[in-house]
């Protein structure tokens, strides 16, 4: 019984450590599309200028087309590839050009790092939506402004915060299933 209590206390301490690190903006995961991990351990814009232009182009095309599907069609029609830097494997960190996919575009447009912001606590577990035996269920995404930690101007930005907020609003308006 003491071991169980000790494990519970240790888990609480570990979570608090993660929370404090996140509040400083230092709890970093793999950098998203258009960013690389610098020698100082911080995320920075991809040094490849063509990769930076493609990321800005995606935001521009989204604002023109108004939908993720429109961006995907545009990129496919113009044979534009996405700059990907694998996080594992033999080509780890090397720039590769891949065909665009809906998931990659959605991740790019939803990630606030393009506006230079750091967020933590945007995926919460809703116990009412969890299914027994399925640990990945019950996740809910919350807007960047409602996250537990949001630090604007933490990273170099490709677009302004206002532009990012407009993209988020457009993506939310385009959803076919209303959020509960």
pLDDT value at position 131?
A: 87
Spatial CA neighbour of 44 closest among 157, 128, 145, 159: 157
With CA atoms as reference, report the closest residue to 148 among 171, 168, 118.
118
Q: What residues are paired with 82 via a beta bridge?
A: 98
Q: How many residues does the chain have?
A: 180
Count how many Cα atoms sit within 13 Å of the Cα of residue 149 in the half-sphere of its side chain: 16
The total of other beta-carbon atoms located within 10 Å of residue 35's CB is 23
pTM of the model: 0.79
> 25: closest CA among 116, 86, 114?
116
Per-residue pLDDT at 62: 95
Q: Using CA atoms, how far apart are residues 55 and 91, in angstroms rounded to an integer?
A: 21
pLDDT at 177: 61
Q: 118 and 144 in contact (C-beta within 8 Å)?
A: no
pLDDT per residue rounded down to tens, the chain (180 residues): 678 888 889 999 999 999 999 999 888 888 888 899 888 888 999 999 999 999 999 999 999 999 999 999 999 999 999 999 998 889 888 999 999 999 999 999 999 998 999 999 888 888 888 888 888 888 888 888 888 899 998 999 989 999 999 999 999 888 876 544
Residues 74 and 61 sit within 8 Å (Cβ to Cβ) = yes
pLDDT for 102 equals 94
């Amino acid at each position: 019984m003491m071991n169980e209590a000790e494990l519970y206390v240790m888990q609480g301490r570990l979570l608090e450590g993660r929370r404090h690190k996140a509040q400083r903006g230092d709890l970093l995961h793999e950098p998203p599309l258009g960013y690389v991990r610098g020698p100082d351990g911080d995320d920075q814009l991809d040094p490849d200028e063509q990769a930076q232009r493609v990321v800005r182009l995606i935001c521009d095309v989204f604002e023109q087309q108004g939908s993720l599907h429109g961006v995907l069609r545009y990129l496919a029609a113009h044979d534009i590839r996405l700059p990907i830097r694998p996080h594992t494997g033999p080509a780890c960190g090397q720039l590769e050009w891949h065909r665009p996919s809906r998931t990659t575009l959605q991740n790019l447009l939803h990630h606030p790092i393009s506006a230079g912001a750091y967020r933590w606590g945007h995926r919460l577990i809703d116990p009412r939506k969890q299914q027994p035996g399925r640990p990945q269920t019950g996740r809910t995404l919350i807007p960047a402004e409602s996250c537990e930690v949001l630090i604007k101007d933490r990273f170099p930005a490709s677009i302004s915060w206002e532009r990012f907020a407009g993209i988020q609003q457009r993506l939310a308006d385009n959803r076919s299933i209303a959020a509960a």
